[in-house]
Amino acid sequence: MEVHVPALSPCLWFRDEATEAADLYARVIPGARVVSRADFPDVVAGRGGKPMLVEMEIGGSRLQLLNGARERLFTMGVSLVVMVDTQEELDRVWDGLVADGGREGVCGWLTDRFGVSWQVVPSVMDRLAAEGGERYARAMQALMGMTRLDVAALLAAADRP
């Protein structure tokens, strides 16, 4: 008997910024796109016709953004990871996510202006992790001292004797 495993689709609760957040993410994250938007039905007191839910696709995964929280609920305990291939992509995504009130963190982490935590990571780190060993250890040691990750510096650290 075949067991159906449903797809995991995280849902992020915003106060009223789901549409604005989705538009930002679709603009700055490579390959991200808005799939659908839905408004609150008229039967929802005071919210009828206002944006309720935006569904996105990022890197082949679905993400729901919902307007429904009364306060910020996001913490660094949950973050979204964006894997990029080049320094140029990393810089563009990083700059777009920290713009207009976002905050830089450490080790490739940041918080966007909506309070959502992100990790912007070059794909070379995945390759080094799969390889393991001293090269990965040296790259991780370099990463631990960075804010925005630097692809060339990570590779230089990995290749240092």
- Tell me whether domains 7-70 and 74-161 share a fold: yes
Mean pLDDT of all residues in 68-79: 82
Q: Tell me which of 133 and 68 has the higher pLDDT.
A: 133
Q: Where are the domains of the chain?
A: 7-70, 74-161
Tally Cβ neighbours within 10 Å of residue 126: 11
- The Cα–Cα gap between 149 and 109 comes to 9
pLDDT greater than 90 at residue 142? yes
Tokens of 121: 């990571």
Mean pLDDT of all residues in 57-72: 87
Tokens of 25: 């993410």
CATH number attached to the domain at 7-70 = 3.10.180.10
| pLDDT tens, residue by residue, 26-38 | 999 999 999 999 9
Query: What dihedral do alpha carbons 38, 44, 50, 56 form, nearest 10°?
Result: -30
| pLDDT tens, residue by residue, 86-122 | 999 999 999 999 999 999 999 999 999 999 999 999 9
The CATH H-level superfamily of 74-161 is 2,3-Dihydroxybiphenyl 1,2-Dioxygenase, domain 1 (3.10.180.10)
